[in-house]
Amino acid sequence: MKNRAIVWFRQDLRLHDNEALSTALRMADEVIPVYVFDERVFSGKTRFGFPKTGKFRARFILESVENLQQNLREIGSDLFIRIGKPEAIIAELAHQIKATWVLCNRERTQEEVLVQDALEQKLWSIGVELLYSRGKMLYHTQDLPVPVQHTPDTFTQFRKENEHITPVRAPIPSPTALPTFTAGLDLGQLPTIQDFGHTPFEMDPRIALPFKGGESEGLLRLRHYLWESNAIATYKETRNGLIGSDYSSKFSPWLASGCLSPKFIFHEIKRYERERIGNQSTYWMFFELLWRDFFRLMGKKYGNRIFMRGGTQSKINAHLKNNREKFTAWAEGRTGVPFIDANMRELNATGWMSNRGRQNVASFLVKDLKVNWQMGAEYFESLLLDYDPCSNWGNWNYVAGIGSDPREDRYFNILSQARNYDPQGDYIRLWCPEFKKVPADAIHRPDLISPQEKKSYNLGNYPVATRHFEKWAG
């Protein structure tokens, strides 16, 4: 009797450097690739009532799964697709085809772990083994100098302990053929965005990059950023930009969904350094990949605490309120602070926001508006194209001063930030068109614009956050 293995694709929607797929190919006579759109993730709500997966990420993942299906077909395989609960669907399939193993890349956060555990229990009851692989991180956890539970709580210490010591394994090549069992199987069909309660939409033409999901698109973006545009050579200088496609790598949506492997990116950077140039910018890209690993390890070390109000430090922050009025103004981009409003409107229109913008809007919500940071984290979870649980919640912990490396003074003076990173107000005008006629010397201080000037600029009823500007300017 042939050994059959199910490969359960999750946030690893690629053929290259896929440990679970590679292991299955080595062990089994026949491999059945599977993807299940978890109804709780794609149709569920967060605690504060936001869609868990908003329309931007839903479409990106649909595109990614479709591309995975196409790439599998090119090597003689296919993809079994369902909507529902993965633990029930995969266990039923394993029983139906008499599978020997189910393989998947392990996830680390609460909801994903609960599904893993439920599936493992169901499979155990029918004599099928669930085998875990690792595929999300730059470093393999077996290569780290200390156990995960002893990972330093500060990024700087983590970096010092690893960057010159811990090897980055070579990425696993993509398979060229995949013996697949499909006899009598109804493979199902790719759902549409309407199946998850969203209306089809056209992307806002102002978006920094016309993101499209899939391994193929991710590899094209990597090739463009390194080899075609050479943009990586100036990444350290441009990474705080706000407008345009190449001020940053924008790899994050493909990394979050697993369309790109961080190890593959790392080794491409090393090849670039050998063949073109190695400098502070190429190092800084590696530095950002280290941050991803750090947040993932913090998620493993502290578990559910990254989602709790007190964060990994279990720190009381009773002064932060679930103030819906303040939160809604922030979320809708009508706080009266143009730099904040521009960033939030970009997020709402595209599912994307620069790293500089994210730090500013998070600081403003928590430090200036005194709103519960969890509301902001959930809003980001809903809308971001590149939502990753550990990175998103870890960063919000960090900004709120309740996470790893806590600092009370992590406060952004939004006025200074706006003047430094959008000195002419071009970004504000792009996303807040009511400021189209406002000159650069006035655009960052709407509180100082007279009623007559406001009328001549056609600013309409744009609100003004006078109290905040007085504090920042003081």
Beta strand 80-84 pairing with 101-105: unpaired
The pair of three-digit structure tokens given for residue 421, joined into one six-digit string:
């990173």
Say yes or no to pLDDT of 181 above 80: no
Structure tokens at 422: 């959008």
- Position 110 scores a pLDDT of 87
Residue 174 resides in a domain: no
Q: For the chain, what is the domain count?
A: 3
Residues 152 and 120 in one domain: no
Task: Locate all alpha helices (DSSP H) within 303-337, ordered by sequence.
Answer: 324-332
Residue listed under structure tokens 């750090």: 294
Expressed as residue numbers, the domain containing 349 is: 313-473
Q: Please check the confidence at residue 405 and state whether its pLDDT lies above 90.
A: no
Same domain, 293 and 370: no
Q: Which residues contact 346 (CB under 8 A, 6 or more apart)?
A: 206, 352, 353, 357, 431
Q: Are residues 299 and 399 in the same domain?
A: no
Q: What whole-number distance in Å separates Cα of residue 408 and Cα of residue 343?
A: 24
**201 inside domain:** no
DSSP β-bridge partners for residue 81: 35
Contact 436, 338 (CB under 8 A): no
**Predicted confidence (pLDDT) per residue in 349-360, tens digit:** 999 999 999 999
CA dist list (Å): 59 to 196, 261, 320, 383: 10, 20, 34, 12
Residues 371 and 451 in one domain: yes
Q: Which CATH number is 20's domain given?
A: 3.40.50.620
Same domain flag for 17 and 146:
no
318 residue type, one letter: A
Encode pLDDT of 220-243 as tens digits.
999 999 999 999 999 999 999 999
Confirm whether 207 is domain-assigned: no
Tell whether the model's pLDDT for residue 85 goes beyond 60. Answer: yes
- For 268, residues 6+ apart whose C-beta sits below 8 A from its C-beta are 222, 226
Would residue 395 count as lying in a domain? yes
What is the domain-level CATH number for residue 296?
A: 1.25.40.80
- Secondary structure (3-state) at 457: coil
Give the torsion through C-alpha atoms of 251, 53, 71, 289, to 10 deg.
30
158 lies in the same domain as 269: yes
Whether residue 146 sits in one domain with residue 128:
no
H-only helix segments in 174-279: 215-223, 235-238, 252-256, 262-275
Whether 226 and 248 map to the same domain: the answer is yes
Q: Are residues 102 and 123 in the same domain?
A: yes
Query: Which of these three, 110, 135, 160, is where a domain ends?
Result: 135
Closest CA to 292 of 36, 11, 64, 15: 11
Which of 276, 303, 330 finishes a domain?
303
Per-residue pLDDT of 278-309, as tens digits, reads 999 999 999 999 999 999 999 999 999 999 99
Asked whether residue 198 is domain-assigned, the answer is no
CATH number at residue 364: 1.10.579.10
**Which pLDDT does position 406 carry in this prediction?**
61
Q: Is residue 202 part of a domain?
A: no
CA–CA separation, 163 and 216 (whole Å): 29
The mean pLDDT value for 131-143 works out to 95
- Inter-residue contact 61 to 257 (CB < 8 Å): yes
Q: Which of 256, 274, 303 is the last residue of a domain?
A: 303
**148 lies in some domain:** yes
- Per residue in 339-386, pLDDT tens? 999 999 999 999 999 999 999 999 999 999 999 999 999 999 999 999
321 and 389 inside one domain: yes
| One domain, residues 157 and 130 | no
| Same domain assignment for residues 277 and 154 | yes
Q: Give a yes or no: residue 259 inside a domain.
A: yes
Could you tell me the CA-to-CA distances from 454 to 273, 422, 430, 434, 439 in Å, in that order? 52, 21, 18, 10, 12
Residue percentage of the chain with pLDDT more than 70: 99
What confidence score (pLDDT) does residue 1 get?
Answer: 76
pLDDT of 408 reads 57
Closest to 318 (Cα-Cα) out of 387, 402, 249: 402
